[in-house]
Structure 1
Amino acid sequence: MTMSVGGLVSGLDTSTLISQLLRAEAAPQTALKTRLSLTEAAASAYRSVNGRFDALRTAAEALAKTETWTAVEATSTASSVTASTDAGAPTGSLTFDVKNTATSHSVIGAATYAATTDSAGFSKLEVLDAGGAVKGTITVGGSGTLADAVTAVNDSSFGLSATAVQVSPGKYRLQVTADASGSAAVFDLRNPANLALLDPPDDFATVTQGVDATLTVGGGTGAYDIVSPTNTFTGVMSGVTITVSKPETAVTVKVAGDPDVAATTMQALVDAANRALSEITVRTDPKGGPAATLKGDSALRGLTSRVLEAASLAVGADGSPATIGLQLNRDGTILFDKATFTTALADDPARARRLAAGGPAGPGPDGVSGNADDIVPGVAQRLLAVAEAASDSSTGTLTLLAKGRDGQADDLQDQIEAWDVRLDRRRQLLTRQFTAMETALGSLQQQSSWLAGQIASLPRSS
């Protein structure tokens, strides 16, 4: 008879005993799991900090771009006139009158109809240009109704749109409008069948005369007009697009440098640097909570020092970054004063740019290398160097630290899995041993019962 390991014979809870024994023997594996959890948390923390430094790199690159410092803004003195600029548009201004805006040419037929299902009265329409020359013919299909004429015009290749306009109840007329505005799109329509008449009537009359938009510059003998088939003028000023919506007088469009672009980009750089510093603080704070998985990390403390130095140390002969609004706070963050930056940019744009974005290293104003006025990397270039050294995907300090923790985690996982195999074998051994014990106890119990029966059957003396 085979007994189970459940302790039915011995009365012991052998399953619990085995679990307790295995739990005690698994103490080293438990320690490995704790180390694995801490190692994975450290790798995640390094990657989190690395993400902040990658963002710092992007912000530093943006400040170093030429277009950040050559940005311009177009303004208009009239709300009905708007202006936009392309990157690198030169500064300047232009004053003009908006003589008129562009309109699309439109004509209406002389015939009237009681319904759109009435016969149009013509099977073809000739399309004429502004000079009266025939451009082509539109053939009316279907049943030749007014509605069919509308469809034929709309489907034609002449750039025209037609509609049946109800001018009064039960009274329709055919109106056709050029899709494009301006004088070049002026057209006329006629029924070629009427040409055979001795005195043909006008088939269509002008509703709106198509004209170009016109700007008039000046009022003297040298005054001149600028025309456009649309209400948008491109290239009147290099890199500038002007859009008009109604006649105006004495409108000035001015293109000037836009310091807000550089200031906003500088603020974004400072914000990115502060977020990187804050992330390091959170991860290394000795009194921090669960997120402080890198307490006492010397590599991160070194990064903090390099970021603060990059933002505060003098930039060659150009002096301190404080002159463009950069200062260090007592809490270890960077402060940016936009007003100071804007003023410095207005007073000396070249110096402000060198301080903020730097430039190619080389001789300074005296033209001689090795002197105190040599051009050195600016704040953005220095922060870019720090960020690249930390976050480069192959050689970055933070990248390598995270990968190192990944390697440790893989090794710990292998050890944990090896312990799984070892503990499983131990469980099997203990199970066999306790099963054997229960079996032996069961056999002894059977023998004891047999002996008791035999003794009880012996004859007793009277």
Structure 2
Amino acid sequence: MAIRISGLASGFDTESIIKEAMKGERARVDAVRQQKQILEWKREQYREANTKFLALRSSLLNLKLQGTFQAKTVTSSDPAVLTATAASTTIEGSFSVEVLRLARGASKESTPVMSEYVHSGEDAEFTLTGKNGSATVTVQEGDTIQTVVAKINEQQAATGIKATYDAGLNKFYLFTSGTGDQARIELEDSSGFLANTLNVDLGTVAGVDAAIRFNGGQELNFASNRFTFNNINFALLKEGQTVDITVSPDVDNIVAKIKDFVEKYNAAVGYISEKLGEKRFRDFTPLSDEQKKDMKEKDIEQWEEKAKSGLLHSDSTLFNLYSMIRNQASSIVAGADKYSSLSAIGITTSGWQDQGKLHIDEDKLKTALSDNPEAVMNLFTNTESGTDQGIAVRLYDQVIDSMQRITNTAGTVSTGVDESSLGRELERVGKRIYTLEERLVEVENRYYRQFTAMEQALQQMNAQSQWLAQQFASGSTQ
């Protein structure tokens, strides 16, 4: 590092003089840094638009699918007895279900055993056989009741049988993890450990199937209390009662997905409209680090809010995307039967004063879904080309195209190397800043070299002056 002599001979405040002289050079660097900051802010705002589009795309994906509009709901006259759900292919209608019997697993319970039991002597072996298969458990010297329980449970995947021990009742239990008549517990024990020590009966026990009568038909058996029949997913909860179920279109679910689409659409067009009309405050430029030193945090936030405003005002890229999205949402589906536009089912678009957002008349929408659900489905999902294409299909394609255009302009956060137009511009500006900062160091070092040379010259002159003065003084005394 170069040694800097600061005003020792001249008495000048060298640091302040050089700092003042460097202001012009630093101003050039700060101007380019401001340019870089503005580009970064613009990129952030573009990417935020893409975040809104991404959410809209996910919502539109649901509305592109016919299954969304074919969703069914099942109502039960007594949910305490059974509940049910339906697939989109389930036939609509009302049905009676008599729950004859609930499915149960197999179990065994011992008589009280000694809780302090510790096995001694020769090893004892017994075999458990369940629905999944068989496994042999070896009881070794020092094993306790809890040890035996743990060894049985280690084989649960192989047998389908679990064990527990209730220390309060001093009882040992075996039960199957599954239900139905295939769930069984079969024990083999030549050592007598199960019968004599754990007090467990060696007989084979099996579970029972669930049984229902559907619409008064024959008895139907199922291994579990949860099963699917006629594309209806049942969950049996109580036996001995008859329940009426009704399968109907899941209008509430469809309305919820359409409302989600409207919400995401409004968020996207609202954000873009806001940015297009945002006022630009040109007197509020990005702050330099030096400027921020003398400001409060809140003042910095308020300043930067103004500085960020209007960066995308009347931006041609966003304006074109905004116009295309709105046109697709408000256009007619030429091949539609009854409903050919969103407005026909209660979804209307506002004017420019309300940013072109959509508004839902929920009652009108539900009426359309009840009167002609297939026509509503076709309005959104029709895959024909051109003007026959469904609203969700064409909007989905438009959103993907819009996202790609913004990505070309601003890149994405996940991109390792930003090859977008703004990314390349930021790279160019970054190199310019590096060059200017290198020059800044060179100029500052030059100033210090010049001042150092001056100080050294002054020191030499002062030394010579002192020597001459001494010579004159000594001559006058002779």
- TM-score exceeds 0.5: yes
Choose from 419, 436, 446 the match for 2:453: 436
Q: Which residue of 2 aligns with 1:242?
A: 234
**Dislocated runs of 4+, deviation >6 Å:** 111-116, 123-129, 135-140, 152-158, 162-168, 172-175, 186-194, 205-209
Give the SS at the match of 2:354: coil
Cα pair distance change 1:32/1:164, threshold 3 Å: closer
Q: Distance in 2 between matches of 1:414 and 1:136?
A: 73
Q: Distance in 1 between matches of 2:202 and 2:243?
A: 36
Q: Distance in 1 between matches of 2:215 and 2:71?
A: 29
Give the SS at the match of 2:388: coil
Q: What's the offset of the Cα at 1:241? A: 2.0
Q: Which amino acid aligns with 2:360?
A: F
Instruction: State whether structure 2 residue 316 is matched by structure 1 residue 298.
Output: yes
Give TM-score scaled by structure 2 length: 0.73
Q: Give CA deviations for 1:265-318 in whole Å, capped at 9, x if unaligned.
A: 222222121111232244334337344222231221222222222222333264
8 Å contact kept, 2:185–2:205: no
Matches within 5 A, 1:68-107: 68-79=68-79, 80-106=81-107
Instruction: State whether structure 2 residue 409 is matched by structure 1 residue 391.
Output: no
Give the SS at the match of 1:48: helix
Give the SS at the match of 1:335: strand
Cα pair distance change 1:186/1:13, threshold 3 Å: closer
Q: Give CA deviations for 1:213-266 in whole Å, capped at 9, x if unaligned.
A: 2213456xxx411112332332x213x221212224331233222123332222
Q: Distance in 2 between matches of 1:128 and 1:413?
A: 73
Q: What's the offset of the Cα at 1:178? A: 5.2
Q: Which residue of 2 aligns with 1:198?
A: none
Instruction: State whether structure 2 residue 235 is matched by structure 1 residue 215.
Output: no
Q: Which residue of 1 aligns with 2:263?
A: 271
Bigger Rg, which one: 1
Cα pair distance change 1:78/1:442, threshold 3 Å: same
Q: What's the offset of the Cα at 1:90? A: 3.6
Cα pair distance change 1:14/1:116, threshold 3 Å: closer
Q: Which residue of 1 aligns with 2:222?
A: 228
8 Å contact kept, 1:188–1:204: no
Cα pair distance change 1:89/1:399, threshold 3 Å: farther
Instruction: State whether structure 2 residue 361 is matched by structure 1 residue 344.
Output: no
8 Å contact kept, 2:102–2:209: yes
Q: Which residue of 1 aligns with 2:59?
A: 59
Aligned length: 419
Q: Which residue of 2 aligns with 1:449?
A: 466
Say which is worse superposed, 150-159 or 61-70, in terms of deviation: 150-159
Matches within 5 A, 1:149-228: 177=175, 180-185=178-183, 210-217=207-214, 223-228=217-222
Choose from 331, 355, 368 the match for 2:354: 331
Give the SS at the match of 1:214: strand
8 Å contact kept, 1:326–1:337: yes
Q: Which residue of 2 aligns with 1:283?
A: 275
Q: What's the offset of the Cα at 1:166? A: 9.6
Q: Which residue of 2 aligns with 1:197?
A: none
Q: Distance in 2 between matches of 1:148 and 1:426?
A: 83
Give the SS at the match of 2:383: coil
8 Å contact kept, 2:187–2:204: no
Please report the RMSD computed on the Cα atoms of aligned residues, expressed in angstroms.
Answer: 4.2
Q: Distance in 1 between matches of 2:89 and 2:406?
A: 38
8 Å contact kept, 1:127–1:138: yes
8 Å contact kept, 1:107–1:188: no
Q: Which amino acid aligns with 2:62?
A: A
Q: Give CA deviations for 1:353-384 in whole Å, capped at 9, x if unaligned.
A: 2323333137xxxxxxxxxxxx6223222322
8 Å contact kept, 2:334–2:388: yes
Q: What's the offset of the Cα at 1:35? A: 0.9
Say which is worse superposed, 84-93 or 321-330, in terms of deviation: 84-93
8 Å contact kept, 1:356–1:378: yes
Choose from 244, 251, 254 the match for 1:259: 251
Percent identity reads: 24
